[in-house]
Amino acid sequence: MLDQMEAGGVIARVQSDYVKCVSPTKLVPKDTGKSGMTKTQVIQKCNDELRRAGRPPMFKEVPNSNLVDVLGETFETVSSNKWEAPKTKWQIVHAYKRLNDATKIPNFAPGDLHAKQQKMAGKAMGSVIDLASGYYAVAMDDNSVPFTAFYVPGRGYYVYLRMPMGLTGTPTTFCEMVVSALDGLLGADFENWMDDICTAHDSFEEHLAALTRFLDRVRATKLSIAPSKMKIFQAEFVFAGA
């Protein structure tokens, strides 16, 4: 992981005399708190719990089949002897408490989330886009780099060249970057909440044109998006939790 981050220009190894602050660091599972169950397994677990409570199953299971019918939509079940636990992804977490206590950053006013959601609601189609590794899109100020140091036994000291998670100023700086990068798009065809971007229209042509403008801007500003989290041309969609 460190080698990949260093090769990507996110961190750099430095000598101890360059460091001005060192924060505790640990490696934690990225999906902490998630069950790791497939959608079908969750459905089956719901039915089992309802049966234990003496209530009828909510989801209709197809007899003698590996398919389960959920509100008219069919999903393939996964037998327990074939299921494999998902591979654990890891991330580096830093305890920047002392550094954050000494840092004064003005808050960013993100706007009214409900109003943004209402603006996107009721349209024929919508798209939701998630910015990938969003914080790393922001370069650290040269004077701030020595304060982001962490120590790895056997390797030495590292600092961040791109903005890490955990700093008290990270959310404000990131939001300001997004507003600047998407100037002219946000508030018009698009709305955002942190790294969630949404647009919605009643016609295919308008929606396609808006997405084209957005992707052109992403390319021009060198932002990154997460294809696996990108939902486009959806009749129903979730934006910032609703």
Query: Closest by alpha carbon to 145, among 165, 159, 166?
Result: 159
pLDDT at res. 109: 83
Q: How many whole angstroms separate alpha carbon 10 and alpha carbon 20?
A: 18
φ, ψ of residue 64 to 5 degrees: the values are 55, 40
Residues with Cβ within 8 Å of 241's Cβ and at least 6 positions away in sequence, in order, are none
pLDDT at res. 137: 85
Q: What is the mean pLDDT of each run of 10 residues along the chain (242 residues)?
A: 91 96 88 55 74 76 50 48 63 91 85 93 94 85 96 95 92 91 93 93 95 95 87 91 76
In the chain, domain spans: 39-76, 95-149+160-234
Give the total residue count for the chain.
242
Q: How many whole angstroms separate alpha carbon 237 and alpha carbon 242?
A: 8
Strand-pairing partners, residue 75, are 68
Q: How many whole angstroms separate alpha carbon 17 and alpha carbon 46?
A: 57
Tokens of 195: 């790294």
pLDDT at res. 61: 59
At 209 the three-state DSSP class reads: helix
Q: For residue 7, what is the DSSP state?
A: H
φ, ψ of residue 187 to 5 degrees: the values are 90, -15
Count of alpha carbons within 13 angstroms of residue 176, beta-carbon side: 10
Write down the pTM of the prediction: 0.67
Residue by residue, DSSP assigns 212-239 as HHHHHHHHHHT--B-GGG-EEEESS--S
At 40 the three-state DSSP class reads: helix
At 158 the three-state DSSP class reads: strand
Whether the CB-CB separation of 67 and 10 falls below 8 Å is answered with: no
Query: Closest by alpha carbon to 223, among 187, 186, 189?
Result: 186
CATH code linked to domain 95-149+160-234: 3.30.70.270
Residues with Cβ within 8 Å of 31's Cβ and at least 6 positions away in sequence, in order, are 86, 88, 89
